[in-house]
Amino acid sequence: MKAEIGVIGGSGIYSLLNDARDVSMSTKYGATSEKVSIGTLQGRETAFIPRHGKKHTTPPHKVPYRANIQALKDLGVRRVIGTGAIGSLREDYKPGDFVIFDQFVNMTHGRDDTFFDEDRVIHVSTAEPYCPELRSLALKTAKKMGISVHGTGTILVINGPRFSSKAESRFFSANKMDVISMTQYPEVALAREKGMCYLGVGIVTDYDSGLEGNSNIKPVSFDEITRMFSKNVETLKVMISNLVEAIPEKQKCDCAKSLEGAEASH
């Protein structure tokens, strides 16, 4: 079976496609988070993986990121859309807003975050980790739908599964991070290593550990994340569907060339 577009859904997205078939896929990096659903979206062959499993039983630090990306690559996927719930680290990125990431900061540890840890030394650039073509299309799609959307956002990725302390949250905000999650890394970096376009889209569900000086905003809870994400998940599904329809067959970006000049000389 083949697919040209892959979607990795975060909390709250467990179905997306039409006429889907669930396929068990195993890679040299193990099995995927869940069976891969392969079906159509706007007439395009699309593969979907629920990042945490259909019953949300896989915590962020144990998601099989390499297996998920490898499976999509094996299916022929060239563009990957990764979604998830995110916390805000600044007042103007409000709960319910959509954010299209342009940068990440990794603060995870112990995750298998490269495909090149055996017999080749590859130094892949992640200076611009997110596909510019998909970002532009996603922003146009969201605005056309009337979604409150931010076209840029630096996402800080923590290991989880615990949420931040107030001191950590203050530190992240002081260092100009915009939003926070537990799953964007190494997903985006692994896609880059495979020469795949990657788009990261998040729905702001909370203000992390609250906002400094505003006692009315409480620290995040998982119940609040679920409530806010569920409120916006159908809008996200429609946005993804509209985006898939807008994606051209031919890529205009250079994501597929990510390995050019990246191998260490002998």
**Catalytic residue positions, numbered:** 206, 208
Angle between helices 132-144 and 222-246 (to 10 degrees): 100
User: In the block, which residue shows the tokens 């969201």?
Assistant: 142
Cα–Cα distance between 99 and 168 in angstroms, integer?
A: 22
DSSP 263: B
- Which tokens go with 15? 């179905």
Among residues 127, 118, 187, 116, the alpha carbon closest in space to that of 157 is found at 187
User: Residue 192: in which H helix or E strand, if any?
Assistant: helix 184-193
Q: Which residue has the tokens 């996927």?
A: 77
CA angle 19–24–26, rounded 5-degree value:
140
Q: The tokens 């990306």 sit on which residue?
A: 69
Structure tokens at 41: 């979206």
Position of tokens 């203050």?
170
Under DSSP, the state recorded for 257 is G
Closest CA to 209 of 225, 195, 220: 220
